């Protein structure tokens, strides 16, 4: 929308700055003038009431301009290439892996020498877990950042990162880094200044002289780490103030009612964009706005801020997509893609955390109905946005899906969740899963689940008890879980170590900086001799690695597996078998997964009702065996945990 004063103001701002008639500059100016009205409006919604609003609006425009001016030429032209492709991140040829650089191989330089490993597996997109400076013993795996712009010396330097990214870009790989938007480490210079009494920096955080406000906030704010860091405030001795610390006591929540904080963080976002980040993982965006009397999660203002960030990024560094790391129920997560006039204009990517958790639910119960019940909501994702699909990551598995989904399948939510938690934490007779409960809240018996993919699938149990069948079954379960999330639609994100079936690593218990947080049990230190076993036939490592390699190949061979809202779930003719169809104008691929430990029969009618005809030949892309669609009174039989990818 053209608005005289807003646009005239921009013209004045651009005067004296040199732009050429290049495609890049022209596109930038068009983007700027197209988004200006909305940037002004969104900014006004949050900060417009302040007497200094104009001053900060001006600053934000300067930040955008500086970001574009500082953007390296190669990234500017990559922006245009990506724009021409349109929603480049939906394609089936992107497969990611999330890893801790130090635990995976050492430093960023070392990672450069591991790129062939990713090629071998088929991974072309790396999520490097936080690598910016963070105090050793109070780091939350790097999510307590003490300097947003320096790489922690443990990993190397910014130069090393840039070099790595250059090589990755040459190879056509993509990079994802985190921006920890919600908080800083208590050792960040802003926090240190605030602690020392500097008023300007105290305004960067939520700091109070007494317990009055903290008590009021805590009445409605849930505990995030109830066992290791209960409450949402921490007393800071030096300033004699209570500081809001929603996560760990050493993570100070930033105060976004202060536009100076917004501007600093926007500038940091651009700093990452100009390092060459392709997808920016916005850590914990649900928490960035606080309000008394609410949970201070998922508030409308948090969305307004994300929309504002998105519009600014779209102007200056449009090749960088935004991933909102909100681990919330499907109805809530949809809002992170934007609603109303912002539908598809907030975050480009979000974790399909509900689906991930429901796969674990189905694996424990052997019943796919709860998973199916969630699909109506999950399918509301707008076109152009996508998921991160995954089976495991560095965090715990939360069971936050809605009660109604559980009830719909005939279970009692409280009992059902209790079963799942017991099943995976080794407290259910007959379960081979070895995990642990994380974040246990004695007030409401809420808990999440820690444990590596392989251990949760029973491999550790099988090895400990020398049970060959359990080991073989755990491998089959592992591949079933991976296949399900690799082919579902979205960017599949492998979690390092899972491709080699690493079981839980208990060494964290000896480390003072980690032993209070059992998520470290599933953050392995890679032993490259063990990884060599991927080349040795008849080892678990070989079977899992080559299995995933093959699944990735299948995914990349068909555009059908890209995420163009081209998925249809099959009717539950057998509640133990989940089935979805991926389709495009050339193909219909039927993906079937038996989540139970028994042979299961599926009527051929299930395929016929979805477009197959009797007598039709289909090939299972996984086993490479041909099947012929039978009569309605005949059955397709899937062995325990078998999956088929029928084309």
Q: Which residues are the active-site residues?
A: 283, 325
Q: How far is the CB of 259 from ligand GLC (least distance, A)?
A: 23
Q: Smaller CB distance to ligand GLC: residue 139 or 474?
A: 139
Cα separation, 284 vs 135, whole angstroms: 20
Q: Smaller CB distance to ligand GLC: residue 284 or 453?
A: 284
Q: Smaller CB distance to ligand GLC: residue 71 or 394?
A: 394
Q: How far is CA 502 from CA 152, 290, 552, 563, in A?
A: 26, 39, 19, 29
Q: Which residue has the tokens 């997560």?
A: 333
Q: Which of 143, 174, 217, 360 binds ligand GLC (CB under 6 A)?
A: 143
Q: Which of 140, 367, 460, 600 binds ligand GLC (CB under 6 A)?
A: 140
118 binds ligand GLC (CB under 6 A): no
Interface with ligand GLC by CB under 6 A: which range of 13-21, 48-56, 138-146, 266-274?
138-146
State CA 187 to chain mean position distance: 26
| Cross-strand bridge partners of residue 25 | none
300-329 binders of ligand GLC (CB under 6 A): 325
Q: How far is CA 559 from CA 489, 555, 583, 589, in A?
A: 11, 8, 9, 11
540-599 binders of ligand GLC (CB under 6 A): none
Interface with ligand GLC by CB under 6 A: which range of 14-22, 137-145, 159-167, 608-616?
137-145
Q: Smaller CB distance to ligand GLC: residue 135 or 382?
A: 135
Q: How far is the CB of 439 from ligand GLC (least distance, A)?
A: 10
Q: Smaller CB distance to ligand GLC: residue 399 or 621?
A: 399
The candidate with the shortest Cα–Cα distance to 277, out of 312, 313, 315, 308, is: 313
Residue 477 CB coordination number (10 Å):
23
152 binds ligand GLC (CB under 6 A): no
State CA 387 to chain mean position distance: 8
Residues in the chain: 647
The candidate with the shortest Cα–Cα distance to 580, out of 422, 345, 352, is: 352
Instruction: Please give the helix or strand (H or E) that residue 60 lies within, else none.
Output: helix 53-69
Q: Which of 106, 112, 135, 141 binds ligand GLC (CB under 6 A)?
A: 141
Whether residue 311 contacts residue 44, with contact meaning beta carbons closer than 8 Å, is answered with no
Roughly what angle, to the nearest 10 degrees, separates helices 73-85 and 23-47?
A: 80
Q: Residues 381-410: x/- map of binding to ligand GLC (CB under 6 A)?
A: -------------xx---------------
Residue 574: burial class (beta carbons within 10 Å; 0-12, 13-18, 19+): buried
Q: How far is the CB of 544 from ligand GLC (least distance, A)?
A: 25
Residue whose beta carbon is closest to ligand GLC: 143
Q: Which of 284, 286, 409, 420 binds ligand GLC (CB under 6 A)?
A: 284
Interface with ligand GLC by CB under 6 A: which range of 60-68, 136-144, 204-212, 451-459?
136-144
User: Which residues have C-beta within 8 Å of that of residue 463, sequence separation ≥ 6?
Assistant: 471, 503
Residue 532 in tokens: 């060599």
Residue 349 in tokens: 């990517």
508-547 binders of ligand GLC (CB under 6 A): none
Q: How many residues bind ligand GLC (CB under 6 A)?
A: 10
Cα separation, 349 vs 387, whole angstroms: 5
600 binds ligand GLC (CB under 6 A): no
173-192 binders of ligand GLC (CB under 6 A): 180
Interface with ligand GLC by CB under 6 A: which range of 112-120, 140-148, 263-271, 434-442?
140-148
Dmax of the chain from CA atoms? 79
Q: Smaller CB distance to ligand GLC: residue 223 or 283?
A: 283
User: Which residues have C-beta within 8 Å of that of residue 340, sequence separation ≥ 6?
Assistant: none
219-248 binders of ligand GLC (CB under 6 A): 247
Q: Which of 160, 236, 278, 283 binds ligand GLC (CB under 6 A)?
A: 283
| Cross-strand bridge partners of residue 602 | 636
Interface with ligand GLC by CB under 6 A: which range of 135-143, 237-245, 434-442, 544-552?
135-143
Q: Smaller CB distance to ligand GLC: residue 225 or 424?
A: 225
Q: Smaller CB distance to ligand GLC: residue 390 or 595?
A: 390
E strands, 145-293, are: 147-151, 174-180, 183-185, 207-208, 233-236, 241-244, 251-253, 279-283
What is the tally of helices (H) and strands (E) in the chain?
A: 24, 25
Residues that bind ligand GLC (CB under 6 A): 140-141, 143, 180, 247, 283-284, 325, 394-395
């Amino acid at each position: 929308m053209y608005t005289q004063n807003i646009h005239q103001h921009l013209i004045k701002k651009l005067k004296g700055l040199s732009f050429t008639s290049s495609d890049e500059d022209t596109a930038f100016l068009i983007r700027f003038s197209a988004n200006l009205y909305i940037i002004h409006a969104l900014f006004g919604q949050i900060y417009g009431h302040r007497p200094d609003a104009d001053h900060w609006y001006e600053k934000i425009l300067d930040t955008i301009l500086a970001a574009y001016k500082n953007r390296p030429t190669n990234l500017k032209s990559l922006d245009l290439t990506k724009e021409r492709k349109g929603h480049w991140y939906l394609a089936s040829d992107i497969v990611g892996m999330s890893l801790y650089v130090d635990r995976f191989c050492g430093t960023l330089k070392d990672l450069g020498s591991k790129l062939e490993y990713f090629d071998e597996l088929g991974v072309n997109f790396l999520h490097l877990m936080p690598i910016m400076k963070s105090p050793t013993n109070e780091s939350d795996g790097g999510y307590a950042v003490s300097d947003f712009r320096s790489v922690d010396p443990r990993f190397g330097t910014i130069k090393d990162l840039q070099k790595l990214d250059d090589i990755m870009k040459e190879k056509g790989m993509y990079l994802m880094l985190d921006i920890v938007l919600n908080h800083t480490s208590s050792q960040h210079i802003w926090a240190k200044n605030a602690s020392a009494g500097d008023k300007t920096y105290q305004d960067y955080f939520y700091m109070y002289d007494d317990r009055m406000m903290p008590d009021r906030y805590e009445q409605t704010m849930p505990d995030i780490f109830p066992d290791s860091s209960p409450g949402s405030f921490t007393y800071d001795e030096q300033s004699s103030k209570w500081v809001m610390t929603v996560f760990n006591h050493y993570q100070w929540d930033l105060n976004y009612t202060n536009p100076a904080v917004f501007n600093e963080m926007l500038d940091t976002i651009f700093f990452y964009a100009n390092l060459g980040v392709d997808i920016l993982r916005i850590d914990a965006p649900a928490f960035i706005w606080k309000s008394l009397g609410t949970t201070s999660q998922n508030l409308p203002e948090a969305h307004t801020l994300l929309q504002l960030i998105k519009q600014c990024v779209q102007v200056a560094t449009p090749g960088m997509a935004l991933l909102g790391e909100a681990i919330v129920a499907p109805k809530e997560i949809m809002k992170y893609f934007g609603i109303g006039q912002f539908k598809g204009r907030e975050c480009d990517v979000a974790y399909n955390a509900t689906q991930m958790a429901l796969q674990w639910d189905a694996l424990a119960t052997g019943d796919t109905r709860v998973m199916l019940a969630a699909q109506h909501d999950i399918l509301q994702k707008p076109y152009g946005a996508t998921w991160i699909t995954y089976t495991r990551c560095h965090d715990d598995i939360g069971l936050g899906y809605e009660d109604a989904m559980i009830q719909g399948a005939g279970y009692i939510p409280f009992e059902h969740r209790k079963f799942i938690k017991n099943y995976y934490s080794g407290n259910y007779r007959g379960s081979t899963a070895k995990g642990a409960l994380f974040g246990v809240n004695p007030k409401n018996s809420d808990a999440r689940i820690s444990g590596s993919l392989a251990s949760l699938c029973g491999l550790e149990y099988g090895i400990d008890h020398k049970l060959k069948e359990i080991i073989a079954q755990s491998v089959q379960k592992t591949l079933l879980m991976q296949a399900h999330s690799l082919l579902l639609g979205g960017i599949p994100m492998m979690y390092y170590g899972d491709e080699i079936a690493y079981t839980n690593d208990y060494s964290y218990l000896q480390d003072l900086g980690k032993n209070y947080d059992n998520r470290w049990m599933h953050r392995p230190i890679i032993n490259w001799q063990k990884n060599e076993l991927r080349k040795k036939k008849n080892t678990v490592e070989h079977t899992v690695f080559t299995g995933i390699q093959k699944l990735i190949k299948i995914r990349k061979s068909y555009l059908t597996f890209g995420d163009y809202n081209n998925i249809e779930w099959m009717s539950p003719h057998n509640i133990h078998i989940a089935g979805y169809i991926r389709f495009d104008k050339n193909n219909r691929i039927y993906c079937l997964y038996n989540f139970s430990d028994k042979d299961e029969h599926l009527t051929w009618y299930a395929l016929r009702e979805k477009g197959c005809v009797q007598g039709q030949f289909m090939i299972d892309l996984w086993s490479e065996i041909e099947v012929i669609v039978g009569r309605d009174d005949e059955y397709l039989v899937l062995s325990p945990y078998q999956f088929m990818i029928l084309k």
